[in-house]
Structure 1
Amino acid sequence: MTNPRSDRVTAVRALQKRSVRERTGRFCVEGPQGVREAVRWAPERVRDVYVTAEAADRYADDVVGPALAADLFVHEVSPEVLAAMADAEAPQGVLAVVHAAAPSLADVLAGRPRLLVLLSSVRDPGNAGTVVRGADAAGADAVLVTDGSVDVHAPKVVRSTAGSLFHLPVVTGLDLGQTLEDLAGAGVATYAADGTGRTSLTAARLGVPHCWVMGNEAWGLPADVRARCDDVVAVPIHGRAESLNLAMAATVCLYASAGVLTAGPPAG
């Protein structure tokens, strides 16, 4: 493919718009790492893979070969076509169109989760994607996202997940109040992460199934939401930093939980 103005290129480019993603149920994954993870962990959802000739040689073993082995459609395109499709200013020669998954909270709770994170009104794409990546690395069972948050299939969010979007369920469009009720009904404790919390992260009860509730980057969690959670937990600041940003705080909390949950009950 060499024509950047072709109908196919225009259709792929249109997936940068949320309305088009929601209407088609598809989104773009840019870069070799994200496409590799999509091909490896969710090949049934991959509609098309687009690669430049240079990228096809460079990523023959970890992207192109596995995609062909999975009977996926792999299209060689010119650099101009790839650039016209991509959102990134410097695309890396690999892009895939993928069908969005639609896991439900009921599905997640049926699996008796031990560690979750809930994003409430999180608007920054980099923060949302980094939380998904951190949750994946910490071994969380799922990421939950309220309906007032950024679209997790937006290009910048997808790139920020570095492929983790295909490793664990990400449930979107949730009502915050109903989600807190459902978590409580399933025996999952909810911990609001907030600098005003009286409980330090080091003292929080992390050995039980629980969900970290993270608020908006600017205003955090409203008082009524904090009151509905089982505890309000603060990450201790030992140096002179005023605070941690949302993604950093979420990762610290998730890793603190993972350390306790993976350690298991004490001997004796």
Structure 2
Amino acid sequence: MLDRPGVFTERTPRVVRARGLLRRARRDDERLFLAEGPQAVREAVPAATELFGTDEALARYPEIADAARDAGVRVSVVTEKALAGLADTQRPQGLVAVCRYSDVPLAAALARRPRLVVVLANIADPGNAGTVLRTADAAGAGAVVFTDNSVDVYNGKCVRSSAGSLFHLDVVRGGDPAAVVEELRAAGLWVAATDLRGADDLDALADDGVLDRPTAWLFGSEAHGLSAELSAAADARVKVPIHGRAESLNLAAAAAVCLYTSARAQRPSRGADERGRRR
């Protein structure tokens, strides 16, 4: 296919450089990542440096392109083949944005005094991690911490699964899980660890008014859960009640139940300025 004037191909240097961000090492070196698809790109505009789009996609979502231009983001038309090389999905939707890293140190997140925090310890599946991030945002959490040995929050699948929520709250990358727990507790948060064999029942804690305080929830990998040491370091080891015959809930479902239970318990005392969100 011949190059068209003003349309980038897979050989255009800016496209080649952006394609390198599919690798974590390059992302970390440049502190840039890719957000793919209209929902993620729409939310990513304030953090974006460039928007790549096919003719068809830019015509289909003119409001996204206009918002990007208004924010000073460079909008570049690319061929279908170039766009496919930037995407890591089988059926890309025609838009990919290059975005700046937006994670913050844990101390900065805690300085906003969030009432609800999520800690992901040793979570390996990017789809699960992104879904929990999205759920945390929906439940009103102020921060999500990806501890050491957890999936990269800027992994393409994690970014897509978050459906734009990555750009709505504080994200913290790294940190020894035990040290994170101590820092959370020092900031005044009550720390709850999910544990299938936990002594504390989620419904009972809600009924007793325990969950109305600022809370940090610890979630471990779906395959192995939290380590015994990290679970023991929490203030409570909480099991989600199973009322039917299912053996357990998967990570994303368990997180949703716990976070919405906390959100409901905190609702009477939470003001709009207490959520710890970035403005």
TM-score (norm 2): 0.91
Gaps of 5+ in 1: none
| Distance in 2 separating the partners of 1:28 and 1:137 | 23
**Is 2:214 the partner of 1:209?**
yes
| Distance in 2 separating the partners of 1:14 and 1:151 | 16
Kindly provide the amino acid, as one letter, of the partner of residue 135 in structure 1: A
Other-structure match for 1:22: 28
Contact 2:8/2:15, CA 8 A, preserved across alignment: no
C-alpha deviation, 1:6, in angstroms: 2.8
| Distance in 1 separating the partners of 2:154 and 2:110 | 23
Among 41, 55, 76, the residue aligned to 1:35: 41
Contact 2:137/2:165, CA 8 A, preserved across alignment: yes
Task: Show CA shifts across 1:123-147 (max 9, x none).
Answer: 0000100010000000001101101
Kindly provide the amino acid, as one letter, of the partner of residue 153 in structure 1: Y
Question: Number of aligned pairs?
Answer: 260
| Distance in 2 separating the partners of 1:183 and 1:85 | 38
Other-structure match for 2:58: 56
Aligned pairs for 1:192-231 (under 5 A) are 192-204=193-205, 205-231=210-236
| Distance in 2 separating the partners of 1:67 and 1:236 | 46
Percent identity (aligned): 48
**Structure 1 runs, 4 residues or longer, greater than 3 Å off:** none
| Distance in 2 separating the partners of 1:94 and 1:137 | 24
| Distance in 1 separating the partners of 2:169 and 2:185 | 22
Contact 1:2/1:80, CA 8 A, preserved across alignment: no
Other-structure match for 1:110: 111
Contact 1:143/1:170, CA 8 A, preserved across alignment: yes
Other-structure match for 2:78: 77
Gaps of 5+ in 2: 1-6, 271-279
C-alpha deviation, 1:52, in angstroms: 0.8
Contact 2:8/2:76, CA 8 A, preserved across alignment: no
Kindly provide the amino acid, as one letter, of the partner of residue 10 in structure 1: V
3-state SS of paired residue (2:173) = strand
C-alpha deviation, 1:2, in angstroms: 4.0
Other-structure match for 1:253: 258
What is the RMSD of the two structures over their aligned residues, measured on CA atoms?
1.2
| Distance in 2 separating the partners of 1:131 and 1:263 | 24
C-alpha deviation, 1:88, in angstroms: 1.1
| Distance in 1 separating the partners of 2:25 and 2:269 | 45
